[in-house]
Amino acid sequence: MAVPRINLNDGTTIPVIAFGTGTALFGKDSKDLVLAALADGYDSLDTAEVYANTASVGAALKEWKGKREDVYLLSKWGKATTGAVDEARTVLETMLQELGVDYVDMYLIHSPLLNDKVSLADQWKVMEKIKADGLAKAVGVSNFREEDLQEVLASNPTVVPAVNQIEFHPYLYHAPNVQRLTKLMKEHNIKIQTFGPLAPVFRSSGGPVDAVAERIATAHGLTVPQVLLKWASQFGGGTVVTTSRTEERRKEQLAAFTAPPLTDAEVQEIADAGKGQVYRKFMVHVWDAAKP
């Protein structure tokens, strides 16, 4: 069964779940695992310059021999920056060569703190040109806070970011700065692309979400990770990025999105259970510099 898609504000669509090549695959040859994920049914791959493994993803795509249009490729600029205003384009051109494709489906600015020599508004103009030139079908941002999105939106962009890829789960959504951010995103139909959706299971277990998620999982014949993946998509109205080295877990993740949705009451119950604590694992330095 095909992976469901959601509509974005630019008229394009995106699969509801992507296989991530960061975290455990960071800086490692990911060819075999990407091939395995594609064989399992994943049709969306999340890559980034900083993951330092784009060439191995390209090797997997070459060996896979599927049609370009049958896989959704997302990538992100950048890591250490030279300060050049058009660096996002230069990086993308290199990654396209490594991936062996002419375009990516989505291209993101990985962090608002990458380039303090060029304003976010000017960085976004480069992203707009990348989209206009067909190097990316859609463009967005990652780890942007409310104030970062406001800077882009205040510049009267011709293209509004399609997504903001952020850490998002029941122990984080209710933080005041995340609440303000997601409110602004909703106003502009900018979708959440969630990473770290399984933090309550694998990084912060033992909290108040556990019992609620376990009860709901039992009621639906699902696993707790499947419930949390569905929660992230349904509560946030967006998509998720996750990964695994094991075939069983990859298939479990995909199966979450062919099962019937959680009820609105169940989604809210999980959200309410998460209000008891705040936990953040990724990009802490960005959020430490944000308004509380």
Q: Count of CB atoms within 10 A of residue 39's CB?
A: 11
Range 257-290 burial, b when 16+ CB lie within 10 A, else e: beeeebeeebbebbbebbeeeebbbbbeebbeeb
β-partners of residue 73 are 45
Q: Count of CB atoms within 10 A of residue 255's CB?
A: 15
Q: Which of 51, 107, 171, 173 is catalytic?
A: 51
Alpha helices for the chain (secondary structure H) = 31-40, 54-64, 87-99, 120-132, 146-153, 176-187, 199-202, 209-220, 224-236, 247-255, 264-274, 284-288
103 given a catalytic annotation:
no
Tokens 């510099």 sit at which residue? 289
The response to whether 110 counts as a known ligand-binding position is yes
Strands 13-15, 5-7: pairing kind: antiparallel
74's enclosing H/E stretch is strand 72-77
To the nearest 10°, the Cα dihedral for 91, 141, 143, 93? Answer: -10
Round the CA-based radius of gyration of the chain to a whole number and report it: 18
Residues of the binding site for substrate? 110
- What positions carry a catalytic annotation? 51
Residues of the binding site? 110
